[in-house]
Chains A and B, each alone.
Chain A
């Protein structure tokens, strides 16, 4: 990690400095990385609540056996839309928002390298999601074949089909433009002396993530384009009747889908690597190893895709390869977890909200990692496949994993963004309610899966009733706890909490890094004179 010495007063502005435009023009024509970052974060917060309502509809229906509240077709639409909204609307834009805000500040750049493209990549998203969500109101309902959109089932979707495919293309274009911007910024806009191995780990995590996005989002785009031509133009890429292969779609989809999981978790690793040293008051243990671990995980993510499809039938050698390659991911992931633990060892720990979320991340993400190892075992996966065990696994990785990391990041950097501390008591209450209810929600799903409850069904056998009820109670608890998150953020934005944040925000010694040399909030145009890093 870099030690930062700024030779220029970064608070001083030159004579050409100007503030933001007035009114709606500031946001519609935004090119400032801070404004675009704010819009991304607010958009993702809105989508988090939209996707959350869909999750609550699912859990309300599953509260007890039998069909209670919704039509089974609508239930399937909810599982599909919940996934699409949360992945492409909540988690990915949240990390892009954090990248927009923090990467220029962390590398000492005045803005992102391509600010107009930055504006375009954000403003695509509201249109994409309006289109996607509007499928709920078309004849035949929203897509209901799961976010994986396996043919031939997905080809039976009604008018929602081309709408959702166009929406996915738009989201992909937005992500690719965002990723190009991140790479170009990091490779060309670093302050003098900011070598690659001096960059903060959040920036490193994002650099590698951006390459992953460029490598795999076009694969998803290709897959759904071929679905579209199969549906409307008489091709038979994935139709066995015409000489095509439906399993081929699954290979292509998961060649995108598995790296996509890492797209959602590598920036989270970066966030955690920023927070734990700050609240341990120690330098990060094994910085270089952390960078190489992120790169290793990214590389391995390309050669494990078929572990999602052991049950479609594949040669034994294929099963062995994908099983062992998947297990190999535990090595760099273990390096990261042990390095976080070593950073905390003999540290002067305090437990402010960002640290609480980061600690919960380390414990609970690791649970998701271990259940992932269980799923990687090919013969065992025949038992677990398409059960609630899988649902429990990936929700542990994504909710107390990626989502907790986003919340940790917001609580970590919010005082820097707004210039005001937030209500610590309310934030800690938000943490404890979230941490307790997320486990009440997802841990019982391991038991349901092991007992054989299949995923994506609106009704189930009565033997699964008890744990489903517990899980649903957890879901509503977790859902309502997030209202506190909203209140904390709104209070901080409006300056209701009152206490002014210092430049370093958390401690005079830590955190280190260029962003903490700026005022809180940072000036609208920061680092117009590049700082020098030694």
Chain B
């Protein structure tokens, strides 16, 4: 039971870390385009 809980917790952490990193990448993409747009206008 303990090991199963540990696995579930690990899966949850893996998913959370992956989503956060993917959001970071998308944020960098959007921010750089937004900054360039702001400089243009």
Report A's interface with B, CB cutoff 8 A.
Answer: 113-114, 117, 176, 179-181, 183-184, 187-189, 214-219, 221-223, 225-226, 236-237, 243-245, 248, 252, 255
* Given the contacts A214-B24, A237-B40, A248-B39, A183 and B17 also touching, CB distance less than 8 Å: yes
Contact B26–A218 (Cβ < 8 Å):
yes
Contact A237–B10 (Cβ < 8 Å):
no
Q: Is B1 interfacial (CB-CB < 8 Å)?
A: no
* Given the contacts A113-B14, A188-B14, A221-B29, A180 and B39 also touching, CB distance less than 8 Å: no
Contact B25–A114 (Cβ < 8 Å):
no
1/0 per residue, CB under 8 A from A, across B1-27: the answer is 000000000100110011001101110
The answer, among B14, B25, B37, for a CB contact under 8 Å with A218, is B25
Which residues does chain B contribute within 8 Å of A252, judged by CB atoms? 32, 36
Which residues does chain B contribute within 8 Å of A218, judged by CB atoms? 25-26, 28-29, 32
Which residues does chain B contribute within 8 Å of A183, judged by CB atoms? 17, 21
Report B's interface with A, CB cutoff 8 A.
Answer: 10, 13-14, 17-18, 21-22, 24-26, 28-30, 32-33, 36-37, 39-40
Contact B14–A180 (Cβ < 8 Å):
no
Which residues does chain B contribute within 8 Å of A221, judged by CB atoms? 29
Contact B18–A219 (Cβ < 8 Å):
no
Which residues does chain B contribute within 8 Å of A113, judged by CB atoms? 14, 18
Contact A184–B17 (Cβ < 8 Å):
yes
Contact A184–B26 (Cβ < 8 Å):
no
Q: What residue of chain B has the Cβ atom nearest to residue A235's Cβ?
A: B40
Report the separation of the CA atoms of residues A181 and B22 in the bound assembly, to the nearest whole angstrom: 10
Using A214-B21, A215-B28, A218-B26 as known contacts, list a sample of 4 further A-B pairs with CB atoms less than 8 Å apart, ordered by residue number in A. Answer: A114-B14, A183-B17, A184-B18, A222-B32
Most buried by A among B14, B21, B25, B28: B25
Which residues does chain A contribute within 8 Å of B32, judged by CB atoms? 218-219, 222-223, 252, 255
23 contacts between A and B (CB under 8 A): A113-B14, A114-B14, A114-B18, A117-B18, A180-B21, A183-B21, A184-B14, A184-B17, A188-B10, A189-B14, A215-B24, A218-B25, A218-B32, A219-B28, A219-B29, A222-B28, A222-B32, A226-B36, A237-B36, A237-B37, A245-B40, A248-B39, A252-B32
Q: What residue of chain B has the Cβ atom nearest to residue A117's Cβ?
A: B18
The answer, among A188, A219, A237, for a CB contact under 8 Å with B13, is A188
Report the separation of the CA atoms of residues A491 and B32 in the bound assembly, to the nearest whole angstrom: 48
Which residues does chain B contribute within 8 Å of A114, judged by CB atoms? 14, 18
Which residues does chain B contribute within 8 Å of A189, judged by CB atoms? 10, 14
Contact B36–A180 (Cβ < 8 Å):
no
Report the separation of the CA atoms of residues A226 and B38 in the bound assembly, to the nearest whole angstrom: 13
Report the separation of the CA atoms of residues A304 and B24 in the bound assembly, to the nearest whole angstrom: 22
Report the separation of the CA atoms of residues A188 and B24 in the bound assembly, to the nearest whole angstrom: 18
Q: How far is the CB of A256 from chain B (nearest CB, A)?
A: 9
Report the separation of the CA atoms of residues A384 and B38 in the bound assembly, to the nearest whole angstrom: 34
Which residues does chain B contribute within 8 Å of A180, judged by CB atoms? 18, 21-22, 25
Report the separation of the CA atoms of residues A176 and B37 in the bound assembly, to the nearest whole angstrom: 24
Q: What residue of chain B has the Cβ atom nearest to residue A180's Cβ?
A: B21
Which residues does chain A contribute within 8 Å of B28, judged by CB atoms? 214-216, 218-219, 222
Contact B36–A187 (Cβ < 8 Å):
no
Contact A236–B40 (Cβ < 8 Å):
yes
Report the separation of the CA atoms of residues A221 and B22 in the bound assembly, to the nearest whole angstrom: 14
Report the separation of the CA atoms of residues A183 and B33 in the bound assembly, to the nearest whole angstrom: 26
Which residues does chain B contribute within 8 Å of A255, judged by CB atoms? 32
Contact B25–A217 (Cβ < 8 Å):
yes
Report the separation of the CA atoms of residues A178 and B25 in the bound assembly, to the nearest whole angstrom: 12
Which residues does chain A contribute within 8 Å of B39, judged by CB atoms? 245, 248
* Given the contacts A114-B14, A184-B18, A244 and B40 also touching, CB distance less than 8 Å: yes
Which residues does chain B contribute within 8 Å of A187, judged by CB atoms? 13, 17
Report the separation of the CA atoms of residues A215 and B22 in the bound assembly, to the nearest whole angstrom: 11
Q: How far is the CB of A31 from chain B (nearest CB, A)?
A: 15
Report the separation of the CA atoms of residues A215 and B28 in the bound assembly, to the nearest whole angstrom: 7
